[in-house]
Chains A and B, each alone.
Chain A
């Protein structure tokens, strides 16, 4: 795996993560030249059958999405109908939702939390990863083992004492607990980024050192730029995690003006869904508003998402 890691890091540093199996093989496959003979030439019907099966699966996976977006443009009485193109097209739901909930405020809160959480965890995790990857010092492996061990701990164990800390600091009810914990790096990203740093050629850093770069410059101006693909993966993962999180907003936020979008959507399900006023069209619309930014995020960083996930899987 380390050999792959080196090629991933040196020959094409801007393409992707140094995934063991991630970025290199798929590209070879797509060229077509190295395709396995069994699927292409010999049995075209097998290939056709595969594509038919995939298409059926794709319809099942996409249908709820398309239906959801479509339903958000239907009037209340037609929300549950099966038509993918609304019989009556209306923007009323989007207007109504803006009037019935502080949507703009929720979006602003979520954006703020997401940006701060993402920036904080990406920078600090890169620092920590660099500390573990570049330096040799006594106790390093034991300490890194501890980093990995913390990943085994279910969040439920630390949830209540963490709440007590923020409560004691007077931060319960504010957005701070939703992101400030990220200032202290995160084990998973430290692991991911360290793996990447280890794949970079050490000569680069020795050369920079001989040229007179101090340790901070070495990290900031040499290592970080080289690490950009892995930083992007970290940022994308964390942006998704903090945008979609419900648990922390449930624990810390009480006043609806401080809500994030997922917390707001939960409040709307409570108010307009079962046990409430049955305005499913508003729930549908709020779901679309919550989801669309994540879809955009995915299309912006699709390759990094896919390579990043492939890496975590093949490292396991």
Chain B
């Protein structure tokens, strides 16, 4: 503590003359800072650190709330590898993520590019695109069942207008995930806002001089705009990937819970849903904890790969 005492003198006091006083001030600052931070410290210890340790331990036990946990070593992890539903739900989640994230980034970027060119009307359209984001995910799940209904849903009615006989989105295993992806694109509003803010920060004179040099709109977008907003593209990609890996509410609302017996659809069984079922419906809490750690590792690895790849693709100003 003594070594850092000098750092606390913020307003140009000379260190040598007031050193004892400064040290006292530093101690008081440290005490006050810790008081202000204390809610987080308590929360971290009780609701993060302890649960993390507990969860790691639980993943090595059989625990069902009613009986004491029983140590089983790595059994849950072995079981997990052998459980076909774990593999299936992970496969579903990976496929959903691979479909959703690129579509999410492409659609929100396209909308933002349009908005950026819309002049005064952009405020209105931005509101329109953002509004669906306010819809509670449960309502989105319910809406999915209605709008994507195979016979009477809006989507298939719209497709019928152009002569396409739409699939049974909510019951045909091959079409459930594409349907959920399309539904999720309805709520890209937040990403649109992020991209629009990034686009507005692109220096105008850069685009203008490119125009004078004869660059067309496409060349300008590709060589100037996209590189300059690449940090935002990276951010949206990472965040939406993490979200896609944990997708739960929309699909759970539409296909699982008390209604699962009738139409519970294996194609919509995402990893988080199976984890929730194992933990809170079958009370296999040890097994569910093991599943949670596997999810953590998968998400961590995917994020690290994205960070690694981004080093080559993302342009940070002042970098090079």
A-B contact count (CB 8 A): 328
CA distance A240 to B123 in the complex (A): 22
- Taking the complex as formed, is B78 at the interface, i.e. its CB lies under 8 A from any CB of chain A? no
Question: Which A229-251 residues have a C-beta within 8 angstroms of B?
Answer: 240, 243-244, 246-247, 250-251
In the complex the two chains form, is A64's CB within 8 Å of B58's CB? Answer: no
| Binary interface encoding of chain A residues 259-283 relative to chain B, with 1 for a CB under 8 A from any of its CBs, else 0 | 0011001110111011110001001
Question: Which A101-127 residues have a C-beta within 8 angstroms of B?
Answer: 124, 127
In the complex the two chains form, is A183's CB within 8 Å of B117's CB? Answer: no
In the complex the two chains form, is B40's CB within 8 Å of A269's CB? Answer: no
In the bound complex, residues from chain B placing their C-beta under 8 Å from that of A192 are none
Question: Which B282-300 residues have a C-beta within 8 angstroms of A?
Answer: 285, 288-289, 291-293, 295-296, 299-300
In the complex the two chains form, is B34's CB within 8 Å of A22's CB? Answer: no
Question: Which B2-28 residues have a C-beta within 8 angstroms of A?
Answer: 4, 7-8, 10-11, 26
In the bound complex, residues from chain B placing their C-beta under 8 Å from that of A165 are 46-47, 50-51
- Stretch from B89-97, B131-139, B172-180 forming part of the interface with A: B131-139
Q: Which of B65, B139, B275 is in CB contact (< 8 Å) with A290?
A: B139
**B184: shortest Cβ distance to chain A, in Å?**
13
CA distance A316 to B208 in the complex (A): 27
Which single residue of chain A is at the shortest CB-CB distance from B275? A156
Q: Which of B32, B33, B37, B48 is in CB contact (< 8 Å) with A150?
A: B48
In the complex the two chains form, is B36's CB within 8 Å of A135's CB? Answer: yes
In the complex the two chains form, is B54's CB within 8 Å of A161's CB? Answer: yes
- Taking the complex as formed, is A212 at the interface, i.e. its CB lies under 8 A from any CB of chain B? no
The interface centre, meaning the residue of A38, A124, A184 with most chain B CB atoms within 10 A of its CB, is: A184
| Binary interface encoding of chain A residues 1-30 relative to chain B, with 1 for a CB under 8 A from any of its CBs, else 0 | 000000000000000000111100110011
- Taking the complex as formed, is A47 at the interface, i.e. its CB lies under 8 A from any CB of chain B? yes
In the complex the two chains form, is A160's CB within 8 Å of B58's CB? Answer: yes
**A33: shortest Cβ distance to chain B, in Å?**
12
In the complex the two chains form, is B114's CB within 8 Å of A181's CB? Answer: no
- Taking the complex as formed, is A225 at the interface, i.e. its CB lies under 8 A from any CB of chain B? no
- Taking the complex as formed, is A222 at the interface, i.e. its CB lies under 8 A from any CB of chain B? no
**A133: shortest Cβ distance to chain B, in Å?**
10
In the bound complex, residues from chain A placing their C-beta under 8 Å from that of B153 are 80
Question: Which A20-66 residues have a C-beta within 8 angstroms of B?
Answer: 20-22, 25-26, 29-30, 32, 34-40, 46-47, 50-51, 53-54, 57-58, 61-65
In the complex the two chains form, is A185's CB within 8 Å of B136's CB? Answer: no
- Taking the complex as formed, is A305 at the interface, i.e. its CB lies under 8 A from any CB of chain B? yes
Question: Which A282-316 residues have a C-beta within 8 angstroms of B?
Answer: 283-284, 286-287, 290-291, 294-295, 297-298, 302, 305-306, 309-310, 312-314, 316
CA distance A289 to B291 in the complex (A): 35
**B142: shortest Cβ distance to chain A, in Å?**
5
The count of residues in chain A whose C-beta lies closer than 8 Å to any C-beta of chain B is: 114
Which single residue of chain A is at the shortest CB-CB distance from B152? A80
In the bound complex, residues from chain B placing their C-beta under 8 Å from that of A187 are 40
Q: Knowing A284-B146, A309-B193 touch, does A61 contact B154 (C-beta < 8 A)?
A: no
Q: Which of A26, A206, A265 is in CB contact (< 8 Å) with B11?
A: A206
In the bound complex, residues from chain A placing their C-beta under 8 Å from that of B54 are 161, 164
Which single residue of chain A is at the shortest CB-CB distance from B194? A313
The count of residues in chain B whose C-beta lies closer than 8 Å to any C-beta of chain A is: 119
- Taking the complex as formed, is A142 at the interface, i.e. its CB lies under 8 A from any CB of chain B? no
Q: Which of B207, B254, B291, B303 is in CB contact (< 8 Å) with A36?
A: B207
Q: Which of A36, A137, A156 is in CB contact (< 8 Å) with B29?
A: A137
In the complex the two chains form, is A291's CB within 8 Å of B32's CB? Answer: no
- Taking the complex as formed, is B181 at the interface, i.e. its CB lies under 8 A from any CB of chain A? no
- Taking the complex as formed, is A87 at the interface, i.e. its CB lies under 8 A from any CB of chain B? no
In the bound complex, residues from chain B placing their C-beta under 8 Å from that of A138 are 1, 4, 30
Q: Knowing A132-B37, A291-B135 touch, does A298 contact B130 (C-beta < 8 A)?
A: yes
In the complex the two chains form, is A269's CB within 8 Å of B145's CB? Answer: yes
CA distance A51 to B124 in the complex (A): 11
CA distance A306 to B123 in the complex (A): 10
The 10 A-B residue pairs with the shortest CB-CB distance in the complex, in nearest-first order: A184-B43, A275-B262, A313-B194, A131-B36, A316-B235, A21-B201, A310-B197, A135-B33, A161-B51, A80-B152
Sample of 12 further A-B pairs with CB below 8 A, known A67-B154, A183-B43, A184-B42: A20-B201, A67-B147, A132-B37, A138-B30, A150-B48, A157-B51, A158-B51, A183-B39, A184-B40, A265-B139, A266-B138, A287-B143
Report A's interface with B, CB cutoff 8 A. 19-22, 25-26, 29-30, 32, 34-40, 46-47, 50-51, 53-54, 57-58, 61-65, 67-68, 71, 80, 82, 124, 127-128, 130-132, 134-138, 140, 143, 146-147, 150, 152-165, 167, 181, 183-185, 187, 190, 202, 206, 215, 219, 240, 243-244, 246-247, 250-251, 261-262, 265-267, 269-271, 273-276, 280, 283-284, 286-287, 290-291, 294-295, 297-298, 302, 305-306, 309-310, 312-314, 316
